[in-house]
Structure 1
Amino acid sequence: MSRLTALLPLSLVLATALTACSSTSAPPAKDAAKVETKDARPVETARVEQGELTARYAATATLQAEHEAKLISEVPGTVLDLLVEEGDAVRKGQLLARIDAAHSRLQLREANADLQRRQNDVARGEKLLARKLIAANAQDQAESEFAVRRAEVNLARVRVEKSEIRAPFDGIITRRWIKQGQLLAANAAVFDMANFTDLRAELRVPERDAVAISAGQRVDFTVDALGSRRFEAKVERVAPVVDRDSGTVKVTVRVDNQDHSLRPGLFTRMDIAFLHVANAVLMPKTAVLGSRGAETAYVIEDGKARRQPIRTGYDSGTRVQVLEGLAVGAEVVVTGQASLNEGSLVEVLHNDADGRLAQTRILAKTDNSGS
């Protein structure tokens, strides 16, 4: 009995030592899971779905007037009359300004007098030629000089007419370059004007999308300066060639602006719904990484991110058609890709109905360790 009593304390000491060693060398599974969870990258994901897609092309453009002009003074002189101001609506042929044409009028009178003298010479020469009192070449010379003087008269008359600046079409004066009494050189700018009724916008559409766009299609657009108000326009023409440098096609959009609520120079955001695709494989556009021809997406498998090459088709602005690389049901990363690498551990988060972030799944290993 005394020998057994002596061995009991020794066994207790050994058991205590073994327990301490095991606790030091092998941490609990829950502690290991916490370490792995700490290394996980938070991301938001979405599922690849099948559904209908309305393909849209969205772009920004600046409105331009189809008819606009910079009016110049083709003759030098002093501004005698300034008849319109910026913002004035004018009609085709309306007198806008008058330049002093005293010198041009004097030249016109002199040219007319010389022309009359040459005309008399021709008439007298015809009588003398009929009586064979002058040579035929002398009469030819007189007729030639008469033609020259007639051209000079016409030129002088044009100079006088050019002293009056008139509107070439219906429109609005957008800028006045001159002042009353200002001395102008030839070809000096006088007014800028534009017709606000007929506006245009030019879009550069990728060739893949351009083949589905044709004249007459509806275009919706907004103007930043006018808030949320929406406007309608029409595709007027699609260029027949593809730009070699950009791989795009010029699409011209016509805006009917009869009420003049819009004006040239406004910045617009245009949207063309040009194709409907049924039974398309769809994913959020925010999940797509890289440029066309080298696109990828991060797919979540077994709690890790895997970078998957994909090929996309048309997009609706928020969703994109998947042609290759992903199947319906695949889970793709839509937010947080910047922090990921191939094989990164992830912590998947989703937005709930109230807009709060709620954790829906952590690592599979973490779930297993808690069971």
Structure 2
Amino acid sequence: MSRLIRSNPIQRNRSRDFRVIVLLFFVTLGGSIPARSSMAQTSTSQSSSVVLSNVAQGNVPPVDTNVSYEGFSEAIQDVNLSTEEVGQLVDVPVTLGQLVRKGDVIAQLDDRLDRASVEVSRMQASMEGEIRAALATRQMQQFRVEQLSQLRDDQMAGVDELRRAQTELAISEARLLVAQEQQRLRQVELERLELQIERRKLRAPFDGLVAEKSLDAGEAVTPTNLVVIRLVRVDKLIGVFNVPAERSFAMKPGLATQVYFRAARETVDGVIDSISPVINGESGTVQVRVRIDNQDGKLRPGDRCSMRVSPVQQITQREKRLQR
């Protein structure tokens, strides 16, 4: 037997009122979130525009002299040297750490065959037999033409005979010219072979220290094994630092800095040499390169170091602005 269950009107009203309240709550909440998000985005966009506008107008904050930036040092010149030719090394007269001067021979390839070719070419360039013979022939033909011309004036020689003598004189002059040109060619060939010998030597392109010695006497320079010496110039060093992009706008080339070398435990003066025009997208930094004097050679490339802008210079710049 089924029973009919009647719903209570009071309960239905309470349920309806609850649903209305919940609906109003979600509507109110849903409307407030986009409004707040829009306000936040507008605020962020405005602040970014202000920063970019300030940078564009040059209204950037001064360099913070209390902030230091980490980096490392490198030699102002660091090159791997190889001979211009391939072959077997007969001498590498340098040692690791040795100071070499610009133009010093620091490696020598076997050049015996080239030297023999130079001797042959030098002898050929010094030969003058052909030129002397051509000169004698020309003088004889010139004298013959003069004699026949005189006889022709006296009507004692024919025109054809004089013409043949003049032709032979022209031929002798051409042979003399050929002999002179051949001698010049032999001289040029001698210079080429002497240059070939010079290419068998490896000379230091600048004053520096031998950092690595990859090949020694008896070893061969091949297309797959070219590097003989690594040479570094350390009278000046370059400090490489990655500065946050927002701080790099206040830095300019020529700005004085102080650089601390960890291994050497020494603080030295430096000058900003260059600033990269691009920002590293991954790190958000800009590479700043600082030039450091190292005439005494106490500092070494590769040392970890930290850099900060010199406060003395900041005062000087402030005074200059006040004077203006």
Superposition TM-score tier, normalisation by shorter sequence: 0.5 to 0.7
Contact persistence 1:54–1:273 (CA under 8 A): no
Aligned to 1:108: 118
Asked if 1:175 is matched to 2:185, the reply is no
Structure 1 pair 218–257 and aligned structure 2 pair: CA distance change class (3 A): same
1:106 Cα offset (Å): 0.7
Within 5 Å, give how 1:89-128 maps onto structure 2: 89-117=99-127, 120-122=129-131, 124-125=133-134, 128=137
Flag structure 2 segments of 5+ consecutive residues without an equivalent: 1-60, 143-168, 316-324
Within the candidate set 85, 109, 113, 1:75 is matched to 85
1:257 Cα offset (Å): 1.6
Higher strand share: 1
Structure 1 pair 244–140 and aligned structure 2 pair: CA distance change class (3 A): farther
Question: Following the alignment from structure 1 to structure 2, what is the Cα–Cα distance between the partners of residues 214 and 232?
Answer: 19
Structure 1 pair 62–139 and aligned structure 2 pair: CA distance change class (3 A): farther
Q: What TM-score results when the alignment is normalised by the length of structure 2?
A: 0.55
Structure 1 pair 133–255 and aligned structure 2 pair: CA distance change class (3 A): same
Higher helix share: 2
- SS in structure 2 opposite 1:178? coil
Structure 1 pair 62–244 and aligned structure 2 pair: CA distance change class (3 A): closer
Asked if 1:191 is matched to 2:229, the reply is yes
Question: Following the alignment from structure 1 to structure 2, what is the Cα–Cα distance between the partners of residues 63 and 204?
Answer: 12
Amino acid at match of 1:257: N
Question: Following the alignment from structure 2 to structure 1, what is the Cα–Cα distance between the partners of residues 74 and 136?
Answer: 64
Question: Following the alignment from structure 1 to structure 2, what is the Cα–Cα distance between the partners of residues 245 and 121?
Answer: 72
Contact persistence 1:213–1:238 (CA under 8 A): no
150-159 vs 102-111, which deviates more?
150-159
- SS in structure 2 opposite 1:265? coil
Question: Following the alignment from structure 1 to structure 2, what is the Cα–Cα distance between the partners of residues 125 and 261?
Answer: 69
182-191 vs 60-69, which deviates more?
182-191
Within 5 Å, give how 1:255-334 maps onto structure 2: 255-273=292-310
1:139 Cα offset (Å): 4.7
Question: Following the alignment from structure 2 to structure 1, what is the Cα–Cα distance between the partners of residues 288 and 176?
Answer: 62
Which deviations, in whole Å up to 9, do the C-alpha atoms of 1:291-314 show, x marking residues without a partner? xxxxxxxxxxxxxxxxxxxxxxxx
Flag structure 1 segments of 5+ consecutive residues without an equivalent: 1-51, 278-371
Asked which structure has the greater CA Rg, the reply is: 2
Structure 1 pair 69–178 and aligned structure 2 pair: CA distance change class (3 A): same
Aligned to 2:195: 158
Structure 1 pair 158–216 and aligned structure 2 pair: CA distance change class (3 A): same
1:163 Cα offset (Å): 3.5
Within the candidate set 278, 282, 287, 1:243 is matched to 278
Structure 1 pair 151–53 and aligned structure 2 pair: CA distance change class (3 A): closer
Amino acid at match of 1:148: L
Within the candidate set 243, 264, 270, 1:234 is matched to 270
RMSD: 3.7
- Provide the aligned length of Structure 1 versus Structure 2: 222
